[in-house]
Amino acid sequence: MGLDAHLYSTTPRRRQQLETERQRRKEYKEWVGALYNSEEYKGFKNLSLPECVDYDKLPKEVTNLIAKFMAELKKKAESLGGWASSDCLFHLSVPKEERDPIDKLCYFDRNWELHNFIAENFGDPKNDNLVEIYLDEAAITKILEKFPYPEFRTALSVVKGGGEVFYLAWY
């Protein structure tokens, strides 16, 4: 099985941005659930919205209700700092151009020993695929004891300089 693993550096604000995105998505999802359960839109659960609806076959009052529903979704998404794409999907994340930059420090190909060490000691071994594992100075020092790779010396200098380092792997 393949393993692609990367070590990245970023600023301390990134974690806060990701948490803000998670909170926005949660609030939006709860709000949409309440909207679906409201008296006005209770029949929408059985209606594919919006991309799968054949509007020509629906009565005018239903298409007007769908338009109103979509306008409410868009308004809520925008109130949370999101935006609507052309296909009526709503994005609730910090726009890419406003995110803190991420710099790749290195790439590890199929280094399962390193991956398992990081996941077991600093992450969650049961949830280690596509999860950012942030490494502080103590963690990087511990990794360097077992894996004296120069990339981790660079990571240590980033952390000591006020930046953040995270490990991300997928398989």
Say yes or no to pLDDT of 65 above 90: no
Query: Residue 58: which of 72, 43, 71 has the closest Cα?
Result: 43
Residues 127-164: b if buried by 16+ CB within 10 A, e if exposed: ebeeebbbbeeebbebbbeeeebebbeebbebbeeebb
At 72, the pLDDT band (50, 70, 90 cuts) reads confident
Angle between helices 137-146 and 112-122 (to 10 degrees): 140
Three-state DSSP state, 99: coil
Which residue would you say has higher pLDDT here, 123 or 100? 123
Say yes or no to pLDDT of 3 above 80: yes
Q: Which tens digit of pLDDT belongs to each residue from 114-171?
A: 999 999 999 998 999 989 999 999 999 999 999 999 999 999 999 999 999 999 999 8
